[in-house]
Structure 1
Amino acid sequence: MLALTLLLCTLRLVVMETALDANAELIERQRQQLLEVATPVIKLWEGTVAVPLIGTLDSARSQVVMESLLEAIVDQRARYAILDITGVPTVDSLVAQHLMKTVAAARLMGAECIVSGIRPAIAQTIVQLGIDLGTVLTRASLSDALAYALSKQGIEVSRTDAGASAR
């Protein structure tokens, strides 16, 4: 009876460990899928893609951003890539370094990378950290970055008078 009880306990332990391992793998796959969904690359115009970043950036997510952006540059044959950080609440030295690496990698792929949406608090943080963004093209907003990319492609963007078009 003791041997049978020991055998059943061992079997229970093996089943539980197997279930825990399967759950851990499932959680990791779901985490990776969530990272990919949370960092979409959007085709804004022929030859122009954008990654609107929202929320906290960490090393894993920054890596997914870089991989997704580089893949989109190749797939879309993009000459301009916009990293919009309007929705990023804070930037530390690690995040800034990841952004710099992403910009450098995009250049190596033949795309000009534009960082948009740098808010005043983030600008102050970057300056206080001593990070030099001198080689990085920046624009105040996503619309400014898109207008820049379009103008570089010879596409003129102009405003129309809403009242005149309604007549």
Structure 2
Amino acid sequence: MNETENIFLSLINQHKAIIHKVSKMYMIDAEQQRDLFQEIVMQLWKAYPTFKGNSKFSTWMYRVALNTALVYFKKDHRKVDKTPLNENIDVIDTDDSEAKEERLAYLYKAVQELNAVEKALIFLFLENQSHREIALNLGISEVNARVKLNRTKEKLQFIIKKNGYEF
């Protein structure tokens, strides 16, 4: 392995949680999540020569990961899994609290009802991105990011209430 590959792999290892979260946000099935994870890593490697360091690696990675997920989601037209909530849901992020894990699973299940852009907005919001950072990552204005995020949060709250998984 050359130095560029080693640096890239080190950066991916440091920030792989981003890829896991994006994969989980866009795909509910564990196998589809793994496929999307691999696709994101491949696209990151292809785009790595264009990373100039003008922003943090994680910021650049968010943008590539979300764009890849959006294209992958649209291209494959994955259908939303309509399995009942009482079935086991494979959660990638683990936590020592069962209640927190259950709430997280409900959140991911509810997010599956959002469209691809809304999923990106919620993902970036959950990653504590500012409205400005969300706008930069999605290529929209800050005002548009703020409005869309508020509407998406309201929609997500409605979905959670409608499906009876309020926490």
For the superposition of Structure 1 and Structure 2, which TM-score range results when normalised by the shorter chain?
Answer: 0.3 to 0.5
Q: Normalization by structure 2: what TM-score?
A: 0.38
Structure holding more helix per residue: 2
Q: Normalization by structure 1: what TM-score?
A: 0.38
Structure holding more strand per residue: 1
Q: Which has the larger radius of gyration?
A: 1
Which structure is higher in RCO with an 8 Å CA cutoff and minimum separation 6? 2
